[in-house]
Structure 1
Amino acid sequence: GIILREIAVECGVEIDVSGNFVIDHFNYDKSDPSHTLIAIDGENLIDSPVIVGSRNISPLLYHGTGLLVNSSNPLVLKLLTAYSTSYSYSPFNDIDKTPNLLGTEVVLLAGVQTRNNARVVFSGSIDFFSNNAFLSNVRKANNKEFAKSSNADVAKHLSEWVFKENGVIRVKSVSHHKLNENEAPMDYTITETAVFEMELEHKVGKEWKPFSAKDLQLEFVRIDPFITTTVPLVGEGKYKVIFKIPDVYGVFK
């Protein structure tokens, strides 16, 4: 337990103290009188179908402790968050102090993609991935009932993402040259016009298909970026941008 907590902290995620559970007296499943079995709507998932699938799903069942995410770490993703009425505390003790985690700061599932593209998913609940949660019906506190939870669907998408079976992009080709030329030069000089081209693919199942996006950026850097520009999509998975080398001497990359 201690080792896992230390690994989580290194990744920007803190796990609440042992014995605490996420409690919500307004969004619970009726099968649990202690209100620690939370019924969570899909809208509480991160808006990223590549990682968690669709948000238009039946509720999720969650029984476990809360996570606190380091907001200063840009690599940590809040995959599933609790409600504003939720808190993390021991259901067996009277509340005599402010809970460690309150409201939407209570994270239930968190993900990290490091700069070397390693991926990790943290969950405060083992039960979230159990057969019981996969097959259970949901009876919410507001009397809405669902034949089956969506835990299995979300778990499937999460496993595909974390094991890199989905959501992987690779560079198929990259080239650069001066305008009106075809070969890459040994170097560029100031104020010359350069052309940068690349092809990207993403993994879909077991196949690689062209990846198209509208927010791809190029940075031309000498210590700090001198040029940051969007790289337009010019074909299926193909991108091209033309820019002028800055009138500044130095080594760029």
Structure 2
Amino acid sequence: MSDSTTEPAPALPDSAGADARKLQIALVDDDRNILTTVSIALQAEGFATRLYSDGETALKALLDNPPDLAVFDIKMPKMDGMELLRRLRAHSPLPVIFLTSKDDEQDEEAGLELGADDYIAKPFSLRLLIARIRAILRRAEPLVAGNPALPTESAPASLVRGRLFMDPARHQVTWDGQAVSLTVTEFLILEALAIRPGVIKSRNQLMDAAYPDDVFVDDRTVDSHIKRMRRKFKVVDNSFDAIDTLYGAGYSFTDG
């Protein structure tokens, strides 16, 4: 397979430029069958698709012209999905879903810690993938405001808790005035904690806040997002300890 952008099956050609109002999904996988099958399914659901067969080609395209969401395979030649996500996260909070091997929990945990918003194990259901994509796009709505493919609501108010500032409408977070770049999932988990400082939120409650569409995720998903969030805040404040762990109960935010 060539290293250039992969085109879908001739019966349903790439639709990225056909309708600017459509939400764009980038698919990155070295398996042409998966690219074609997933692209056809997404286009049938009204999405535009951009297809890439390797991480190197995808990285430049995703940074130069970001889509609304990307789906990465992990095992790819030249640049695997882990490295692609690591490099992407240095510059962009683009929502990302990882496709992982069915039994490789290490891949799942590593992907979440690098900043993936979600993961799906292969072999996967197209219905499940589309449901996860729609769920993340609804959560990321402020980032694609004005796009008629998603319903719009009045922008939520900003949130101030001690040194923490959150602006949901702009997907902005600062700590002591310094910017902290969070993924969509991380933002929603932090917002759920910061709305009621000192109140313990169970993992199930945090999963409901970050995944409000009855999408099943397990406990380690929330734990991995919390761990990565803490690391990000410690970059701007090494003494950051506002997210408390209460073993067996959940997490809480302290703004004191």
Q: TM-score, normalised by structure 2?
A: 0.29
Q: Which of 1 and 2 has greater Rg?
A: 1
| Structure in which a larger fraction of residues adopt helix | 2
